[in-house]
Copies of this chain bind each other. A is one copy, B any other.
Amino acid sequence: MNIVLLEPDQITTTDDVWQIENPRQLQHLRQHIQLNCGDTLKVGVRNGQRYLTEVISVSEQQIRIRPIQLEAIPEKLPVHLILALPRPKVLRRIIMDAVTLGVERISLIHSYRVDKSYWQTPFLQQLNDYVTLGLEQAGDTIAPEIQLYKRFKPFVEDVLPTFISDQKPAYVAHPYAEQQMPHAIQHSCSLIVGPEGGFIPYEVDLLKKNGCQAMSLGNRILRTETAVSHILGRLFI
């Protein structure tokens, strides 16, 4: 946690004194920082500004702070991450990582090798919490848009093409592609990462027919979560 993220309705007080009352945030601060009055603390407002604040009071239930200075928000990566819905256990980390790395938009899609039960996981109701963790890690305040698409074909045929243009290609990470995933690109793109076990040939073909380019990552096969941060490190420098 490199900033404390407040919700917009937490900063509507008129006297410019804000309260941190979220138990998770309070516990983290107690455990890692041990704040005292007069200390400074980095605080962001979800989808708003980021501030350096001054600590006014510290108690078990509440930390009161006052903003003293605006701070810069890190830039996003111009990338739309399209991800076959991962296993619930992995979902949290992968969303958190994508947000931390600055992905602008995330789409979670179905695919043949995505177990249908994954769409029932309660974790999908908690995406907002994972986004918060990612923003707090990165020091960012702007949440990416996250969309769910439970049907592969309608997504690929009807939705995906609206995101693709000459200036904004779509790359599918595919172990058996001939072309290498590009690096240090200077434009935006969509990045499509399949499920554990990969997309089936029918799916790769349909993606290609609808404007995507299959790109190899070399001859090592990566776990989904490793692949996402690895490819983003390669694409944007």
Chain A residues packing against B (C-beta within 8 Å) = 2, 32, 72, 74, 96-97, 100-102, 137-140, 180, 183-184, 197, 218-223, 226, 229-234, 237
Pick 12 A–B contacts, CB within 8 A, sort by A.
A2-B221, A96-B223, A100-B220, A100-B223, A100-B226, A101-B230, A137-B222, A180-B237, A183-B183, A183-B184, A230-B230, A233-B234
Picked from B74, B96, B100, B218, the residue with its CB within 8 Å of the CB of A219 is: B74
CB contacts (< 8 Å) of A140 on chain B: these are 220
Shortest CB-to-CB span from A222 to chain B, Å, is 6
B139 touches A221 (CB 8 A): yes
Cα A86 to Cα B139 with chains together (Å): 21
CB contacts (< 8 Å) of A2 on chain B: these are 221
B138 touches A220 (CB 8 A): yes
Picked from B102, B139, B180, B229, the residue with its CB within 8 Å of the CB of A233 is: B229
CB contacts (< 8 Å) of A100 on chain B: these are 220-223, 226
CB contacts (< 8 Å) of A226 on chain B: these are 97, 100-101, 229
Cα A55 to Cα B77 with chains together (Å): 46
**Other contacts beyond A226-B229, A229-B230: 17, CB < 8 A:** A2-B221, A74-B218, A96-B223, A97-B223, A100-B226, A101-B222, A101-B230, A137-B221, A137-B222, A138-B220, A138-B222, A140-B220, A183-B183, A229-B229, A229-B233, A230-B232, A233-B233
A220 touches B32 (CB 8 A): no
CB contacts (< 8 Å) of A232 on chain B: these are 230, 233
A139 touches B219 (CB 8 A): yes
- CB-CB nearest in chain B for A181: B237
CB contacts (< 8 Å) of A219 on chain B: these are 72, 74, 139
Closest 5 CB pairs of A and B: A233-B233, A230-B233, A233-B234, A138-B220, A229-B230
- CB-CB nearest in chain B for A218: B74
CB contacts (< 8 Å) of A231 on chain B: these are 233
